[in-house]
Structure 1
Amino acid sequence: MSFTRSDQIIRLYSVLAPLLMLLSISCATVPEGDDLPDLYIGSDVDIVEPMPLRERRALQAAYDSALRPQPNRSVLGVWRPRLQLYHLTGGEDAEGLRARVQNRFGENPVYFSVEMPDANAQRLLNASYARGYFDAEINYNIVEPRDGHVGLSYEVSPGQRYQLGELRYGAEDIDREDTDAEERPEYLSTIDEAILRQLEISELRKGRAYHLDDLEQEQIRIDAALKNQGFFAFSSGHLVFDGRRDRDQKVVDLRLDVREDMPERAARQYRLRNIFLYLDYSVESEDIPEDLGELEELAEQVYVVESSERYRSSIVLNALVIEPGQLYRRADHLRSLSRLSDLGIFQFSSIRYRETDEPGKLDAYVYLTPAPSRVVQAELQAVSRSDDFAGPAVNLSYRDRNAFGGAEELSLQSNAAFETRLREDAGRVLGSYEYGAELGLNLPRVLAPFAVDRARTGSLPRTRVRGGIQSLTRVDTYRLDSANARFGYSWRSNPRLRHELDPVDITFVRPDEFAPEFEERLDENPILARSFEQQFLVGSRYAFIYSDRGIAEGRASSYLQLGIESSGAVLHALQQLSGTDNSEDNEPAAYFNTPYAQFIRTDADLRQFVPLIGSQRLAMRLLTGIGYPYGNSDTLPRIRRFSVGGTNSMRAFAARSIGPGSIPPESDTFEDRSGAIRLEANLEYRFPLSTYFRGAVFADVGNIWDLPGDGGEDEEGEFGFDSFVDDLAVGSGLGLRFDPGFVVVRLDVAFPVRKPWIDDHDGWLVQDMRPLELGWLRENLVYNLAIGYPF
């Protein structure tokens, strides 16, 4: 990358600008001269009457936001560095490089004008009226703390806040004897009835404090309700409130009506006539032609204008909720768009409506632009640990979102990982390797023995079928093979809530190739031995996922996933009902000579993302989980136990390398650490470094535990409410992320802060840190390279 001389100079100014602002503190804020206008330094608003604290704060905020213009930004109300830089760079006469620096770091002066006091007084009065203070009085004084600087001081006496009185609709007045209103047009009768029904459930109740925002929200609410009753051409702007104030009672009586100039079509209910499908639409196409020519009729009054050979037309018809002959409903329109998007095969989708020559009839035009269906992804992860273990992990995935022409998603995922360490004392390699693959098929419909009303769901429900294999080998220790098959459904109940249900989840686990040393360890620990038994897992799983990320920019967002899994209950019930329970003393029941597991397992993943200044973010995560074996099982199967550590967990520790509890790691084995309970928390401060690079400072804390009584002789690995805090491991570090917008490449450098198995200093390592010494860095830093954010 190269920079021009001009770029280098502007970057130099970027560094020197803050210094120039500091050096200019002794300079005058504005140049001297009698012919210059006074600098406006801001306005103060004082509410001089007592009122509840909550209302005072809300009213004060309304007043502060109403004032115009905003004065130049200052430090402690005295020093205005950006304004000073404006003058240092030449003011309004700045040119070239000075102008560029001024535009980026400076701030134009805000001068006082004679119109400003009365204009702001009127704004404060309007803000008072908007919150129901119709008797408010405004007084102000012009203050000059020093020559050339002018401010405003306002005193507001709001008076008593008005409440809502009677709420009537215009059509009701026609039936009153004391009204001289003209006869109401007949075409308004239908919309009058619809609005009256809405006012029956209105929250604008008598006695409620008056607030202009409440009236505007009521207009929007009624408009949304009428849009779902066929009133296609109606809008909230067609509604108007008329108020009559009673100064003695401090009450505002409201009358709602439609505007006199509202067109007749806005009061009309519309029905859909025809639906026209453009299945291979280009955004560069011309507008809708008047004559569509000969069309393919896909269903009654549903026509295909542009067909596509990429997918079947029927899947679009199945996704649409709108139908010919039905009333126009905005909710159906949005549900149809959501379901079309859920198909995953369209790059662009829209539905437009055109009024026909038949009054009250609409034609709908559905435009669909196909997206590329095949996607290939590769993900590389790598870790380098302070104990000389290192190794890569690769994940490959292929996805065809339209495998058979009906928006069926076919996916193939594979993974491989390798980790090793050359142990000089033993002269041999100690490590592990892992590989696996999964084949999945997602269907855009529900396969079930019962009918499902497709129009009731806001999104398109899917049926998921998956199967896979996985193999993990610990060199000179053991090998663990597993095969899994699942059948289930996924659907959204609203844009923020997703559900996943797998009524059938079958896993077969087969351990093999036990080393003699490991067999001895299993003989010593029956609980550990049970977790390594060959067994069936037959159960179900449900997950609830809430996410409001992307709902609104610039606000805090949350993510919550709750999952529950049950295994073995159905098999046990079938054995009991059929009388084939073959369990014996100290031996579990089995199917096809293979024991089956019985357990309940729950887990939770809570994330919070808080925006700070600019593009800075605070990201937080809490992970919890617990598994409880019962009946046919004394412990959780190995593949259902929890673990911590790794690139997306506690980054100062390798994957599955710590716990349970305060049990110390063993340097002469390569045994995975797992437990029945998990507790982990992560905190990450994310900030921009440049256009494509982001930085992070993070801290991770957590551990895993065995259930009380399941640790055998290792009681320090069991969970206890009075001791779990002492078992928490802590890590921290710095992160660098390259984020061009389509992929995130992440490098996290972490180091342990607390190891709970160390007795000295209660496990804390802060006193031993030597971040400036190469030896300490080499022994303690853990490098994590991965694709994507950790959470």
Structure 2
Amino acid sequence: MRCKVHIYYILLFAALCSCSEIKYVAEGSYLLDKVEVEVDGNHGSIDMGKMKARVRQNGNSRWFSTVKIPLATYSLSGRDTTKWINRVLKSMGEPPVIFDSLRTARSAADLKAELNNEGYLGASVEVATKKKRKKIDVTYILHTGQPYNIKDIKYVVEDPVVSQLLCLEDSVNQGLKPGMQFRVESLDNERKRITDMLVDNGFYKFNKDYITYEADTVGGANSIDLTLVLHPYRGTAGTDSLHPRYKVRSVNFYSGNADGERIRLRQSVLENNTFIRTGEYYSAADLQKTYGHFGRLQAVKYTNIGFRENADSLLLDCDIQVSTNKPSTISFQPEGTNTAGDLGAAASLTYQNRNLFRGSEVLSVELRGAYEAIRGLEGYANENFEEYSVETRLLFPRFIAPFLSGNFTRRTTATSEVSFLYDLQNRPEYHRRVLSVAWRYKWSDANHHDRYQIDLIDLNYVFMPWISDTFRRDYLEDESNRNAILRYNYEDLFIMRFGLGYTYNNGLYAIKANIESAGNVLGLGAKAFGFSKNEQGQYKLFNIAYAQYVKGDFDFTRNIRFDYNNSLVWHFGFGIAYPYGNSTILPFEKRYFSGGANSVRGWSVRSLGPGRFVGRDGNIDFINQTGDMKIDINMEYRAHLFWKLNGALFIDAGNIWTLRNYDDQPGGQFKIDEFWKQIAVSYGLGLRLNFDYFILRFDFGMKAINPAYEGKDHYPIAYPKLSRDLTFHFAVGLPF
């Protein structure tokens, strides 16, 4: 009976929305309901997305391509605009799209023109309409016919220098070839290819208008004979001549600072970031590289590059005007903290110098302090948390490394970074100190979508100068509560790691891969020089055991965009780490966790896994709910709703596992014949406020399959319970 009532309300709501849609549609007018583009026949080569973009008028937007909520919101408003509620509803909603026959006719003409551009020169477009009450559906039917192909291609270039440079005898490099389908886009691409080649080889005044085409159709054969004509240079006197080819005579640097002060950069820095060279032919590509390299220097405010012709010669003088920023800034940032209900405050003071050695080197020094009142602790002398840290970074906008070729360093955009961190934490239970020193490189190739990173050396020294007797007795020494992972996290530890990272992103899909290892060099040294061991049989350096492990991570994201408002995103993430040699347990910072705003969103952060482990007494166990291996699989449908509000429907799956069997994590070990039964699944709805420069995200996740339980509790999708299965996440930025 309850199911029937729910269906009744759903049908009633749908009927009310349908009626309200035409509330503001005048008599004799029609609401444009659906717009479709169809092809008469099977032509897989036609880009339907490009065709649909040619339609000048589409219906009202639909949430998740289904329900026209913005129009329904607008239609709920009354006609009295003096009432604030009516104004609010109209501003939040979307007025009805009224069918416009003139725009429809122009859309049909644009579709035909696009088909002609694609080589369907005999195409036609039929417009079919279907009216019902005050609504109208419009369908554009594309009658394409057979496409035209290029039968013969001929290049007419009377300039011998240009002809030799283009290698017209070598058809492999030509963008147009006999047999290919005639497309205007292909013709434009060939014009652009030739133009780019010439302006990168000294032809400073050349542009694509010097290139035209002549086309002759071959009767009854759907073929075209094509001739590309590269016209001679037209000078100021109106006479034709060979295209002038310019060389750079000089490169001059000028200050653009308002105070007239000279450029605050070393001459070598200016020259190394300039790709325009004296005695070489003018190149538009080198000009853009120069802009790009100066633009990434934080000491530079702006750059302006101009060229001056010399009378009666084919020489250019290049003038580069550089304006620099003030080198030093100081900033102060207060913040409030809330850790599991414990309130506190923090503040940071940051000094930054963006031109330390007059080479756009960036030095930053950050001092941070935090205080938090911890409640609910018994048996401790105080209940306050204090943290003080100092972090220093020095970034060089270039490679600081030997044995690198000049061509490689000039072709890449690189950063060398050295960092230092000292963090002091005083808790009621213990005092913790972290000392970190790192040297890394980051670089990318300007002509590709690849980015690379090498953590050449990363040293981390974690030590515990004091542990309270209460904490030691209750957690570290109590035989009934002995936990190997917990104890390992409160021992002094030294980590010496080396890492490699790679990222590729072309807008359609992204790949991210990282691999790191620690302790291998120390392991060789320990055996060679006979390092001493501790009670657990671990080698020690400076009387501290060092960590030894290898870790790899891989992420793949694919973005399928249906139109401007709708897209589907797939994500797969995999990570695995293995402790060996001097370690049987991974350092806590290197272990994996699952659940949270960027993982399986039916679970709160660090509350899923490992495997079918359920935590202590069914409660979240932050120490033990970590693992050595992780799988994340996500699918998210994203849609623009209205204003700055976007929506998402998502399905997440994944879990973590341990590679070894630990007594404190029963059911957490990865087994090839069982792990697939332990994949957790969740689904949910997300809302996002997109302010362009940042995104506020609200996700509501529901558990669908819970590997921690058996029976009915294993399938909450069939037996849901909101208090148990619903999780809310607030985050900044997209999940992947």
Q: TM-score range by the shorter chain?
A: 0.7 to 0.9
Question: Contact 2:251/2:320 (CA < 8 Å) preserved in 1?
Answer: yes
Larger Rg belongs to: 1
Q: Please name the residue that 1:706 is paired with.
A: 658
Q: Secondary structure at the match of 1:636?
A: coil
- Mapped partners of 2:27, 2:415: distance in 1: 69
Distance 1:469 1:273, change over 3 A: same
- Mapped partners of 2:715, 2:125: distance in 1: 62
Structure 2 residue corresponding to 1:319, chosen from 261, 266, 273: 273
Please give the per-residue CA displacement for 1:722-777, whole angstroms capped at 9, x wherever unaligned: 236536385968667584x6666x58586774775456743666767468xxxx99
Does 2:149 align with 1:163?
yes
Q: Secondary structure at the match of 1:170?
A: strand
Question: Contact 1:319/1:460 (CA < 8 Å) preserved in 2?
Answer: no
Distance 1:448 1:389, change over 3 A: same
Structure 2 residue corresponding to 1:195, chosen from 147, 166, 173: 166
Question: Contact 1:598/1:629 (CA < 8 Å) preserved in 2?
Answer: yes
Q: Secondary structure at the match of 2:23?
A: helix
Q: Secondary structure at the match of 2:667?
A: helix
- Mapped partners of 2:384, 2:727: distance in 1: 20
Q: Please name the residue that 2:331 is paired with.
A: 376
Q: Please name the residue that 2:82 is paired with.
A: none
- Mapped partners of 1:622, 1:44: distance in 2: 34
Q: Secondary structure at the match of 2:413?
A: coil
- Mapped partners of 1:419, 1:699: distance in 2: 37
- Mapped partners of 2:141, 2:152: distance in 1: 33
Q: Please name the residue that 1:506 is paired with.
A: 459
Does 2:100 align with 1:110?
yes
Comparing 649-658 and 339-348, the one that deviates more: 649-658
Q: How many Å apart are 1:565 and its aligned residue?
A: 0.7
Question: Contact 2:607/2:621 (CA < 8 Å) preserved in 1?
Answer: no
Q: Which runs of 5 or more residues in structure 2 are unaligned?
A: 1-15, 80-86
Q: How many Å apart are 1:460 and its aligned residue?
A: 3.5
Q: Please name the residue that 1:518 is paired with.
A: 475
Q: How many Å apart are 1:530 and its aligned residue?
A: 5.1
Q: How many Å apart are 1:679 and its aligned residue?
A: 3.5
Does 2:28 align with 1:29?
yes
Distance 1:404 1:424, change over 3 A: closer
Please give the per-residue CA displacement for 1:129-169, whole angstroms capped at 9, x wherever unaligned: 433345x3759799998999999999987554333233322
Distance 1:189 1:217, change over 3 A: same
Q: Secondary structure at the match of 2:44?
A: helix
Aligned ranges 1:559-570 → 2 under 5 Å: 559-570=510-521
Q: Please name the residue that 1:353 is paired with.
A: 307
Which amino acid in structure 2 is aligned with residue 189 of structure 1? P
Q: Secondary structure at the match of 1:223?
A: helix
Comparing 661-670 and 329-338, the one that deviates more: 661-670
Does 2:499 align with 1:541?
yes
Q: How many Å apart are 1:22 and its aligned residue?
A: 3.1
Please give the per-residue CA displacement for 1:198-221, whole angstroms capped at 9, x wherever unaligned: 754124222222222211111111
Q: Please name the residue that 1:214 is paired with.
A: 186
Distance 1:156 1:770, change over 3 A: closer
Question: Contact 1:338/1:459 (CA < 8 Å) preserved in 2?
Answer: no
- Mapped partners of 1:147, 1:516: distance in 2: 80
Q: Please name the residue that 1:467 is paired with.
A: 420
- Mapped partners of 2:595, 2:127: distance in 1: 64
Distance 1:487 1:355, change over 3 A: same
Structure 2 residue corresponding to 1:364, chosen from 313, 318, 324: 318
Which amino acid in structure 1 is aligned with residue 680 of structure 2? L
**RMSD across aligned positions (CA):** 5.3
Q: How many Å apart are 1:536 and its aligned residue?
A: 2.8
Aligned ranges 1:571-586 → 2 under 5 Å: 571-574=522-525, 578=528, 580=530
Question: Contact 1:231/1:266 (CA < 8 Å) preserved in 2?
Answer: no
- Mapped partners of 2:163, 2:283: distance in 1: 18
Question: Contact 1:275/1:324 (CA < 8 Å) preserved in 2?
Answer: yes
Question: Contact 1:539/1:570 (CA < 8 Å) preserved in 2?
Answer: no
Distance 1:537 1:63, change over 3 A: closer
Q: Please name the residue that 1:336 is paired with.
A: 290
Question: Contact 1:380/1:787 (CA < 8 Å) preserved in 2?
Answer: no
Aligned ranges 1:27-176 → 2 under 5 Å: 28-30=27-29, 52-55=42-45, 57-58=46-47, 105=95, 110-111=100-101, 127=114, 129-134=116-121, 136=122, 160-171=146-157
Please give the per-residue CA displacement for 1:257-310, whole angstroms capped at 9, x wherever unaligned: 21256556882222112223233256xx9xxxxxxxxxxxxxxxxxxxx65364
Question: Contact 2:111/2:125 (CA < 8 Å) preserved in 1?
Answer: no
Question: Contact 1:479/1:513 (CA < 8 Å) preserved in 2?
Answer: yes
Question: Contact 1:280/1:368 (CA < 8 Å) preserved in 2?
Answer: yes
Q: Secondary structure at the match of 2:209?
A: helix
Which amino acid in structure 2 is aligned with residue 545 of structure 1? T
Distance 1:761 1:345, change over 3 A: farther
- Mapped partners of 1:371, 1:352: distance in 2: 21
- Mapped partners of 1:645, 1:366: distance in 2: 53
Distance 1:162 1:418, change over 3 A: same
Structure 2 residue corresponding to 1:638, chosen from 579, 588, 604: 588
Aligned ranges 1:718-737 → 2 under 5 Å: 718-721=669-672, 722-723=674-675, 726=678, 728=680
Please give the per-residue CA displacement for 1:297-339, whole angstroms capped at 9, x wherever unaligned: xxxxxxxxx6536444442222112121111222222221221
- Mapped partners of 2:582, 2:206: distance in 1: 64
Does 2:443 align with 1:491?
yes
Q: How many Å apart are 1:660 and its aligned residue?
A: 3.3
Q: How many Å apart are 1:352 and its aligned residue?
A: 2.7
Q: How many Å apart are 1:466 and its aligned residue?
A: 0.9
Q: How many Å apart are 1:357 and its aligned residue?
A: 1.7
Q: How many Å apart are 1:394 and its aligned residue?
A: 6.3
Structure 2 residue corresponding to 1:278, chosen from 251, 254, 275: 254
Distance 1:770 1:710, change over 3 A: closer
Aligned residues: 685
Distance 1:337 1:42, change over 3 A: same
